[in-house]
Structure 1
Amino acid sequence: MDVARSLILCTVLAACLAHTAAQWNPGTATFYGGPDGSDTMGGACGYGNLYNAGYGILNAALSETLFKGGASCGQCYTISCDGSRPGGEYCKPGTSITVSATNLCPANFALPNRRLPAWEHIGVYQAGVIPVVYQQVKCWRSGGVRFSIAGFNYFLLINIQNLSGSGSVGNAWIKGDNTGWIQMSRNWGANWQALSGLVGQGLSFAVTSTGGQYIQFLNVVPAWWKFGETYTTNQNFYY
């Protein structure tokens, strides 16, 4: 198998796809979890409750190569079962589904079969692994970008959620009422860190999407914020 181009569909539909825009790529898909989608919550992107973060249960767990250390978190992919390849007898011809990347799914071809609603959009439940084709597509989200704050004192960990357009974060900055712009670095998944003492200051953010669009989210967080809170904006990305 070409690991760099494989993807493993995991979940209620958790999928594993690759990033080559406007081009269909071959891969494989499997699944995990129960029909209520509870096993898709959390994950290696750090989104926590995926309903609250804007992603729901149609999600993708990417292979390690495609996950790119979390750089692909939030990206959207359309997947179709490929009936022309071995295993294609388990495909449902002419069907496809669009999912968001929210987790990491190392290859495991011994996963148990479970009947899952989203999985059954493109394949039949008897199949453990099915051949698919997939491509990255534009994300459409409800509402604006969200910033969830964790950490303590001089360590801020910001989970950046619900991006439209390319769906994922390329670079991020934070600004307190009494500071200039401070560049953050990726800690893990969709979590970005700042080693700064910003408690007691109102916060603004700036984000460049992996599609190259730059947006400033000014005065998003009031000075009385607390760790564990999430703040929603009215701005989002187009690309």
Structure 2
Amino acid sequence: MGVLHSTLLCFILLHSWKIAAYSDEDWKKATATFTKDTDEGSLINGACGYGDIHKASYGKHSAGLSTILFNRGSACGACYEIRCVDHILWCVMGSPSIVVTVTDFCAPNYGLSVDYGGWCNFPREHFEMSQPAFSQIAKSKADIVPIQYRRVKCQRSGGLKYTMSGSSHFYQVLVTNVGLDGEVVAMKVKGSRTGWIPMARNWGQNWHCNVNLQRQPLSFEVTVSSGRTLTSYNVAPANWQFGQTFEGKQFSE
């Protein structure tokens, strides 16, 4: 009975920790800059592979992360609440916060010091925000501002979206609009003539496998960073084509 009680207690504590990790997570210190609107590359060709982030439903509330936070692309899709702090000249009065989605990588510049231009050099924690998002927490005249950040749940409208690409024996899918955790850490695909096939991360949130899946309906199994798994059956019909996007289920609270 004591063993059962201890196991149950551990489960409750673990579950409570996962909830607290997003709802009551302590604020951490970092810095932030912004990418000007004229730099369309950050809105269309980010390192997470989302393409045009407006079409990917992330809009301009997006950010690129420094090396230590980006974690080789595994952070793509995660949501962070950010607020400007400790700078009376540049922070918006009242330190309002904004939620951004990770869509890009802020590349290091080791030719510059971490205090002057090398904002994203390892191991510095830094957010390179879109200009509209940055202007909601700080004045656009600022070069760099001190911030606080914490992970939060991603609020999404509709289900997970799967965009097909590749060729007959190289199948790739881009996963977007992921709610709650936001970060996809594992994927599987299943055709009507196959079992569940594990997929490998190609780059960002593009996942691939070397299997011919054409002319069969496809189902997907998606695992996010908290360990939760979502299965959507027959998301794509048998006549799906490369370049098409299909919508499946969404993670629920």
TM-score (norm 1): 0.83
Who is 1:27 aligned against? 30
- Distance in 1 separating the partners of 2:252 and 2:154: 9
Post-superposition Cα deviations, 1:104-123, rounded to whole Å, max 9, x if no partner, equal 01246549xxx943221111
- Indicate the SS of the match to 2:35: coil
- Indicate the SS of the match to 1:90: coil
Is 1:215 the counterpart of 2:230? The answer is: yes
Who is 2:179 aligned against? 164
Q: Which amino acid aligns with 1:131?
A: P
Q: Which amino acid aligns with 2:244?
A: E
Who is 1:90 aligned against? 90
Is 1:101 the counterpart of 2:102? The answer is: yes
Q: Which amino acid aligns with 1:102?
A: T
- Distance in 2 separating the partners of 1:103 and 1:124: 22
Q: Which amino acid aligns with 1:30?
A: T
Structure 2 residue corresponding to 1:228, chosen from 236, 243, 246: 243
Is 1:204 the counterpart of 2:207? The answer is: no
- Count of residues in Structure 1 that have an aligned counterpart in Structure 2: 213
Q: Which amino acid aligns with 2:236?
A: V
Report how far residue 33 of structure 1 moved: 2.6
Indicate how the Cα distance of structure 1 residues 224 and 175 shifts in structure 2: closer, same or farther if over 3 A, else same: same
Structure 2 residue corresponding to 1:131, chosen from 131, 146, 152: 146
Report how far residue 38 of structure 1 moved: 7.1
Please, which runs of 5 or more residues in structure 2 have no aligned partner?
Answer: 1-20, 110-115, 119-129
Structure 2 residue corresponding to 1:61, chosen from 52, 57, 64: 64
Post-superposition Cα deviations, 1:4-45, rounded to whole Å, max 9, x if no partner, equal xxxxxxxxxxxxxxxx74121100001113179774223011
Query: Which range moved further: 177-186 or 93-102?
Result: 93-102
Please, which runs of 5 or more residues in structure 1 have no aligned partner?
Answer: 1-19
Q: Conserved in 1, the CA contact under 8 Å of 2:43 and 2:51? A: no
Who is 2:197 aligned against? 182
Post-superposition Cα deviations, 1:105-156, rounded to whole Å, max 9, x if no partner, equal 1246549xxx943221111112111000000100000100000111111111
Who is 1:12 aligned against? none
Q: After the TM superposition, which parts of structure 1 deviate over 3 Å for at least 4 consecutive aligned residues?
A: 35-39, 107-111
- Distance in 2 separating the partners of 1:143 and 1:38: 27
Is 1:150 the counterpart of 2:165? The answer is: yes
Q: Which amino acid aligns with 1:224?
A: N
Q: Percent identity?
A: 39
Report how far residue 185 of structure 1 moved: 0.9
